Amino acid sequence: MPGLFVAGDCRSSTAKRVAFAVGDGALAVNCVHDYLGTYS
Ligand SMILES: Cc1cc2nc3c(=O)[nH]c(=O)nc-3n(C[C@H](O)[C@H](O)[C@H](O)COP(=O)(O)OP(=O)(O)OC[C@H]3O[C@@H](n4cnc5c(N)ncnc54)[C@H](O)[C@@H]3O)c2cc1C
């Protein structure tokens, strides 16, 4: 779904590890910035 970003255990195929969740969060922030830059 465009504009919906998730991180951590709520993702599909996640490794269910804290470090993955933290990395996902950082990546999600980047993706939000890209998304807003593209679509705002
Ligand atoms: C028993 C156990 C042991 C683990 N041991 C390890 C380990 O040794 N090493 C490791 O790397 N990983 C371990 N994990 C996995 C690790 O805890 C998770 O991968 C990580 O916490 C995922 O982070 P998250 O932010 O995605 O989810 P969570 O840490 O689960 O955070 C989700 C948050 O959302 C809140 N929430 C839920 N529903 C709502 C709602 N409707 N409204 C508002 N808030 C809501 C919850 O209260 C919670 O605070 C373990 C997990 C468990 C259960």
- Please answer whether residues 2 and 31 qualify as being in contact, where contact means their C-beta atoms are separated by less than 8 angstroms: no
d(CA 5, CA 25): 9
Distance 29 CA to ligand 1 centre (A): 19
Q: Is the CB of 9 under 6 A from ligand 1?
A: yes
Number of Cβ within a 10 Å radius of residue 24: 20
Task: Tell the residue nearest (CA) to atom 24 of ligand 1.
Answer: 8
Q: What is the DSSP letter of 8?
A: G
For ligand 1, atom 8: residue with the closest CA: 17
Tell me how crowded residue 17 is: count the other CB atoms within 10 A of its CB.
11
pLDDT tens sequence across 1-40: 899 999 999 988 889 999 999 999 999 999 999 999 977 5
- Whether ligand 1 lies within 6 angstroms of the CB of 17 is answered as yes
Global pTM reads 0.88
At residue 36, the pLDDT reads 93
